[in-house]
Structure 1
Amino acid sequence: MTSLLAAIRSEFLKVFTTRVWWGLALILFVYVGFAAAGAALLFANIPGAAESSGAGAQATSEMLTQPGLIYGFATSIGYVFPVLLGALATTGEFRHQSLTPTFLANPNRGHVLVGKVLALTGVGALYGVIALAASVGLGGGALAISGIDPMLADPDTWALIGRAVLAMALWGAIGVGLGAVLPSQVGAIIVVLAFTQFVEPLLRLASSFSEVTASIGRFLPGAATDALVGPSFYSLMSAQQDALTWWQGGLVLLCIGVVVALIGYATTWRRDVT
């Protein structure tokens, strides 16, 4: 237990003594805040055209300006940041060969990896708070300016916020496992960006075309995140039916994180380092 606690403290220190974490955090805040506020202002103006477009435009506007959908930008587009930080925190050990002194100080490699997973889970939760400060603060402000209730007094809104923080925390853990599986820093960055920004959105859209593929597509990490947090623009576009419940979505993300970390431990993490 002592070596595990030491590993956790060491991993927190490694993260917060570099500029990477706050650089990504700043980009996360701007990216999510701009997207949430922009979407809120854009779709809040749809009723202006509803007089000539009929009730359909009004219904579409009401659906797209739901506060939960706006606040969900924190995870629907922001989850790439904790997974990227987790991957960088792990691949950086291989790139800079800092694993050698780490393993000399703490020979229990399992504790080192678990400590990194737990530390980046905590940092992922911090990223969740930052992303929600952007989506709720700027997106909710844009809704209020547009005359739409941001529903900050609704307990369901705060339940969504809590689940979003949990989702971002789990993505931080997944990033650590991914970095252990793909120790190449460049390779890990390419895989994270390609999968989260292109591959999975296309897979989710394609999986919605039949019941068989839809039943499989709901277990994709992004779909599981939407199930845990709430519907996003991705889930609306894919028109996914029979989605997972919130706890099932969280369990899928947890299982992905555990499996990827175990694969990384069984492969690259146990190899000799120089």
Structure 2
Amino acid sequence: MIGLLNSEFRKVVSLRFWWILGLVPLVVGAFSGAVTLPLVRAVAEGLGGDGTVANSVATVFGVVVALFFVVLFGAVFAAVNVGTEFRYGTVTPTFTTTRSRDGVLAAKLAVTSLFGLGYCLVVVLVSSALLLTFSSDADLTSTWPGLLGSGLVVALAWTLIGAGLGLVTRSTVGATVTLVVWFTIGELVVRGILSGLGGGAVGAMLPMSATVGTVVNGASSNGVEELPLWPGAPLTLLFWALALVAAGWFTVRTRDVT
């Protein structure tokens, strides 16, 4: 197993896409925290609001914006990392030279998840550091542990979702397009349809809704009841991740990879 892990790690670092995909969320994280705090505080002061509340809101919002891009690009990285093997046919010699496909898949998912968690950790640290650098009023004491913990949960889940889609579709393009469309408008459309049919509660269990609930309610001392609450939100998101990984695993084990 150690040999498979080393092999998968070398495959990732030998290609440029792992750090190229990590640049965008890093840049967004660098600027979101620095820009959000003064803007939100200025608006709050103009409206005569509580500056302490404004600091808390700005801190959460700035890091959440960065986390949104971390989650998206982490999922895209996973889809590309897995799908590339099928696109160029490199998965065939890998499977034929190892004892079982299960070990290869487990190693690939483990390494891919490690990079997804790394993306999240770096971006949250950068965003938080810049918040403290640009303003000493940033409220990180109460929000940072929750943001980091919930951020790591959603980063892991969406990395697995991206990998699962890559295994199911065996296509970097198909999996990437699916992820981007779902992130931007797909789930909003589905939720709108479900709400119109009286299925609003079902819409709250969709991946993006569970993601927002996990992060916002994980960082907030007072839960936002309009969003999925803990522990239901992270458990729902992890369910989607495991379901897609299971579907992809089953597909790879039962279909001819040549």
Q: How does 1:197-216 map to 2 (within 5 A)?
A: 197-203=184-190, 206=192, 212-216=198-202
Quickly say closer, same or farther: Cα 1:212–1:114, change in 2 above 3 A: farther
Distance 1:27 1:7, change over 3 A: same
| Cα separation, 2, equivalents of 1:211 and 1:191 | 24
For the residues of structure 2 that align with 1:120 and 1:272, how far apart are their CA atoms? Answer: 23
Q: Deviations over 1:128-152 (max 9, x none)?
A: 112212322234544x1xx6x2233
1:220 to 206, 209, 213: 206
> Which residue number in structure 2 is paired with residue 236 of structure 1?
none
Q: Secondary structure at the match of 2:23?
A: helix
Answer yes or no: is 1:229 the counterpart of 2:226. Answer: no
What are the residue-to-residue correspondences of 1:20-59 with 2, within 5 Å?
20-50=17-47, 55=48
Deviations 1:157-213 (A, max 9, x none): 213212212221221111110101111221122111111122124545x37967943
Aligned equivalents of 1:160 and 1:64: distance in 2? 12
| Alignment check: 8 A CA contact 2:217 2:229 kept | no
Farther off after superposition, 160-169 or 21-30: 160-169
Encode CA deviations 1:26-52: one digit per residue, 9 max, x unaligned: 1210123333333333222214532xx
Match of 1:254 in 2: 238
Does 1:92 find its partner at 2:78?
A: no
Q: Partners in 2 of 1:266 and 1:102 — Cα distance?
A: 18
Residue type at the aligned position of 1:152: L
Matched length:
253
Q: Distance in 1 between matches of 2:194 and 2:247?
A: 30
CA distance in 2, matches of 1:249, 1:170: 12
User: Which of 140, 165, 185 in structure 2 is aligned with 1:152?
Assistant: 140
| CA apart distance, 1:12 | 1.9
2:119 maps to 127
Q: Secondary structure at the match of 1:72?
A: helix
Residue 151 of structure 2 is matched in structure 1 by 164
Counterpart amino acid of residue 24 in structure 2: I
Matched, 1:188 2:172: no
**In 2 relative to 1, CA 101–242 (structure 1 residues): closer, same or farther, beyond 3 Å?**
same
Partner secondary structure for residue 244 of structure 1: coil
Looking at structure 1, the residues matched to 216 and 68 of structure 2 have their Cα atoms a distance apart, in angstroms, of 9
Distance 2:105 2:161 in 1: 12
Root mean square deviation of aligned Cα:
2.9
Counterparts of 2:113 and 2:162, CA distance in 1: 9
TM-score (normalizing by structure 1): 0.80
Whole-Å Cα distance in 2 between the matches of residues 92 and 81 of structure 1?
Answer: 16
Structure 2 residue identity aligned to 1:260:
L
Q: What is the Cα deviation at residue 20 of structure 1?
A: 0.8
Gaps (5+ residues) in structure 1? 233-239
Q: 1:64 to 1:89 in 2, by over 3 A?
A: same
